[in-house]
Amino acid sequence: MKIRAFITHKLCEQYADCQDRFCINEDNRCIALSDGMSQSIFPDYWAEILAEQYAKEGHCDDEDRKRLCSLWMQQVIKYRNEQIELGKDPWKLDNFLASRKGAGATICGVRFENAKDWKGDVLGDSCIIMVNTKDWTIEILTSEEKAFDSFPDFYDSYPEKPGRGTIKSVEGSISPDDVLLLVSDPFSEFIANNQERAQELIGELQKLGNHEDYCKLVEDWRVKGMHNDDSTLCVIEFDGDINMNVNHRDDISILIEEEKKEEKVEVSIVQNEILLNEEISEQKIVDTIEEKEYKESKISQSSDLQVFFNIVIKELEALISRFNKRYKKDNIKKHDIKKIRERLTKEYENLTTSD
């Protein structure tokens, strides 16, 4: 089978904030996707643990969940200790842990028995979607009996708290006329609400080849009504091969690292701009002083030279004071210099006229 898998974050957020995870295990022909619940504690840790469990073992039932809870807690404690080493007080996290507030996540996964037959499991609004491209019929497989809402079935990260709902087992087969999708809730809800456009929508998904194309599609679908959330998509198509041929696979850890590098570059650019502006502003002060000194020499024989000199000093002090207060944001504008020059010229004219 041919596999392509993509992931992106909410609009106005970053990959470091993304709480979806997926995992592909070519060796045992398993794929899993998990969506961490944003109002819970470290849902990205939990989603990754669940997805990796399913991809490794081909299942993730409640007994698996109970066993995996300790892995989530280990990662949380590791984060807490790192914060303490940095001199930070994790009091808020301590309060959450004391009250047994954990993470929540939905999950769906499939395991292939051969080149076409598969078995799967679904919990919550992370769904398996079967599409027939002959008649463009769509079947959405979910554990939810109600319409999609803000309270999906999920697994909790505390062993004594199962979460909500029961994971549901499903199965099917894939042919050259079928497309199998594993999706997080933005896709499942959007496709469910637009089944009359199945040929158009699934056709767009079939054309996806890289991360950039995927991000453009998500942006476009959000404009058309798909809700703004972390968005993950796995596209599975029949190619007659029992092996998983992964044509594209986004790596969330690489996306996060690339994001950090871009942030460092942006910070460096801003720092250079600040330094450049400081140099320019300092040169403006020097130029202004030199210009004022030149004007002083022109009226050196005036009987009111001391008066004019005092005016120049006051103007310079005001200019420097303004610079020291504002240069980091506004710098000294050209019209400020022009205004000072006009003031000095006017004073000079008054002095020479009085003579």
The pLDDT assigned to 216 comes to 98
Q: Which residues pair with 32 in a beta bridge?
A: 23, 109
Q: Which CATH number fits domain 2-250: 3.40.50.300, 3.30.450.270, 1.20.120.450, 3.60.40.10?
A: 3.60.40.10
pLDDT tens-place values along the chain, 355 residues long: 999 999 999 999 999 999 999 999 999 999 999 999 988 999 999 999 999 999 999 999 999 999 999 999 999 999 999 999 999 999 999 999 999 999 999 999 999 999 999 999 999 999 999 999 999 999 999 998 877 788 899 999 999 999 999 999 999 999 999 999 999 999 999 999 999 999 999 999 999 999 999 999 999 999 999 999 999 999 999 999 999 999 999 999 999 999 999 877 655 555 565 555 655 665 665 566 666 555 555 544 444 555 555 556 566 666 655 555 544 444 455 555 566 667 766 766 666 665 5
For 249, list phi and psi in degrees, rounded to 5.
-145, 110
The pLDDT assigned to 224 comes to 96
User: Other CB atoms closer than 10 Å to residue 8's CB: what's the count?
Assistant: 22
- CA distances to 17, 80, 290 from 12, rounded to whole Å, are 10, 27, 48
Which element (helix H / strand E) includes 22?
Answer: strand 20-25
- CA distances to 2, 214, 215, 257, 268 from 262, rounded to whole Å, are 32, 20, 18, 9, 10
CA distance 50 to 31: 12
The pLDDT assigned to 251 comes to 97
Q: Which amino acid appears at position 210 of this protein? A: N
Residue burial 281-296, b: 16+ Cβ < 10 Å; e: rest: beebbeebeeebeebb
Would you list the domain boundaries of the chain? Answer: 2-250, 262-354
CA distance 195 to 187: 12
Residue burial 25-56, b: 16+ Cβ < 10 Å; e: rest: beeebbbbbbbbbeebbbbbbbbbbbbbbbbe
144 near 174, Cβ under 8 Å? no
Interhelix angle 198-206/185-193, rounded to 10 degrees, is 150
User: Other CB atoms closer than 10 Å to residue 261's CB: what's the count?
Assistant: 9
CA distance 122 to 143: 6
Residue 8: both structure tokens together: 């992106």
